[in-house]
Structure 1
Amino acid sequence: MTTTTRPAVYASRAGARHFDLLLTAMCVVIILSNIGASKGVQLGPVVTDGGFFLFPAAYILGDVISEVYGPRAARRSIIAGFACSVLAVLTFWVVLALPGLGDDQAAAKQAALEGALGPVWQIVLASALGFVVGQTSNALVMVRMKSRFGERGLAARLMASTGVGEFLDTLVFCSVAATAIGISSWGQWANYVAFGFLWKTAVEYLLVPVTSRVIGAIKRSEPSYREGLLR
């Protein structure tokens, strides 16, 4: 006797109540994290950047989108996050290139903006590469595991996808962004990678119960998801 696996259920983006809000929140988190990451931060023996405390939210939002709305929605969110990052860089480039008022105060502001926003293009490049690699692998693990186990094992999906996605994202991001924040040795780079991965993974693991409840609430509130479960 053979058993068939129930196809994975996802909510439709058409008429979705929450997808646009989740996507908007993800894009905002990415842009703010990129700006914050242009500052190197020393916390005791730990080397990190100014965006470290916020960026895990991007992966939590990505998990919610992948679990509730499926692989196409996940790809859409990755493309949107990448596009918003590029738009931010182009905006900063135009702002820095525009002529100032020509006085000493304007010159001081220009220097401050160049110091703060000048490295952002490298941070965004690092973030975009890391985000595409990490979120793609994160979404792939979520979708593949859901296809195999259905609605069961949500916590396991969240933890497995986080481990894979955050490791690849952190490795790529730190390798490209290191020089932009002043990292100049292999020891600092290793510190940067290790802390980034452990911190982001720990935050997401600690928030798995909360993420699971949020996912459950969104599933219940999306009519198309409830309809899919009844088929």
Structure 2
Amino acid sequence: MTTPDNGSGQGSAAAAAPGETHSPRFASIGSQYYAILVSLLTAFYLISNIAATKQMSFNLCFTDWVVDGGVFLFPLTYLLGGIITEIYGFRAAFRAVLIGFAAMVVGAVVFGLVTASPPVGDAHNQEAFEVLFGWDGVYVRILIASLMAFVAGQLMNAYIISWIKTRFGESNLWARLMSSTVFGQIVDTFIFGLIAFTTFPLFLNVLPGVDLFPLMGWGEFWNYFIFGVIYKCLIEWVLLPITYAVVGMLKRREPSYRRAA
């Protein structure tokens, strides 16, 4: 039996007996808080994908680590995804992922239309724009990789949080957030890096008008994958006190969450 929680996910709760599950509390999505969280998730996702067109290298502990421009904001999408799942449940998180997915598709269509439109004056800027945002350019490749990775990683993240909460109740929020982040980021970083940067998708060059090229060697890819997972998980850990505060505030302020107690 689950004891009432203190509003921050840290209330005492007994683990379910073998085969037993708790009835987890979730709020309804018809509130301004859900809309704000989804808006932030979508905005961070869009910005990160545009920034990811640039690869960077940092020297840390006498080793050069390869990252992309999404390294600054993208980890926060998992923090937001975790908060959404914890408060509103798996279905609400799935809806948020679909909204982010749709926003990226709309962005790709707009960039494609802008690229195809005739430029004014010098064609030099047009050529540079086509390299980044053309249908066979870097952005579209990153878009496809990101859509696949984002959906797979975020759904993994949401499923683990929802499953652990159903199994163990309101207690141990930190365990839900950290375990879901580790598995979600492994899936996300691997799929994204494999498709966006390596030779893996070059078989598509047989299609007319497609001219893909590798952006990383395999050594750089594994460097990117290992550092990316560790870095993103560390960000989640460092921001855990903020996550606890936000979750606690939402559990206190969401009337439908309190009524579910």
Taking structure 1 as the reference length, what is the TM-score of the superposition?
0.92
Match of 2:256 in 1: 224
Q: CA RMSD in A?
A: 1.7
Q: CA deviation at 1:100?
A: 1.3
Tell me which residue corresponds to 2:167.
148
Report the CA distance between 1:162 and its aligned residue: 0.5
Aligned length: 224
Deviation of the 1:86 alpha carbon: 1.1
Give the distance between the partners of 1:205 and 1:56, measured in 2 at CA: 11
TM-fit CA distance, 1:182: 5.3
Q: 1:181 offset after TM fit, Å?
A: 9.0
Q: CA deviation at 1:208?
A: 1.3
Establish whether residue 157 from structure 1 lines up as the match of residue 189 from structure 2.
no
Equivalent residue number for residue 198 of structure 1? 230
Gaps of 5+ in 1: none
User: Corresponding residue for 2:221?
Assistant: 189
- The structure 1 residue matched to 2:82, chosen from 54, 63, 69, is 63
What is the aligned partner in structure 2 of residue 115 from structure 1? 131
- Alpha-carbon deviation of 1:213? 1.2
The answer on whether the counterparts of 1:183 and 1:189 sit within 8 Å (CA) in structure 2 is no
Give 1:18's aligned residue: 33
Q: How many angstroms apart in 2 are the aligned matches of 1:37 and 1:221?
A: 36
* In structure 2, C-alpha distance between the alignment counterparts of 1:223 and 1:17, rounded to whole Å: 12
AA in 1 matched with 2:52: A
Q: 1-side partners of 2:103 and 2:176: how far apart? A: 27
Task: Note closer, same or farther for the CA distance 1:181–1:210 as it changes in structure 2 (3 Å cut).
Answer: farther
Matched, 1:137 2:141: no
- Report how far residue 83 of structure 1 moved: 1.1
The residue aligned with 1:92 is 111
| Deviation at residue 128 of structure 1 after TM alignment | 0.7
| 3-state DSSP of counterpart to 2:71 | coil
Any stretches of 5+ residues in structure 2 without a counterpart? 1-15, 199-211
Q: Using the alignment, how far apart are the partners of 2:21 and 2:68 within structure 1?
A: 44
Q: 1:115 deviation in Å?
A: 3.1
**2:47 paired residue among 29, 32, 42:** 32
Q: Which amino acid aligns with 2:95?
A: R
Greater percentage in helix? 1
- Alignment partner of 1:49 is 2:68: yes
The residue number in structure 2 matching 1:168 is 187
The answer (yes or no) to whether the contact 1:5–1:148 under 8 Å persists in 2 is yes
TM-score, normalised by the number of residues in structure 2: 0.82
- Indicate yes or no: 2:144 matched with 1:125: yes
TM-aligned CA deviation for residue 211 of structure 1: 0.6
3-12 or 125-134: bigger deviation: 3-12
- Cα deviation, 1:26-64, whole Å, max 9, x if unaligned, reads 111111100000111121311111111110011011001
- Displacement of 1:6 in angstroms is 4.0
Aligned partners of 1:57 and 1:181: how far apart in 2?
A: 30
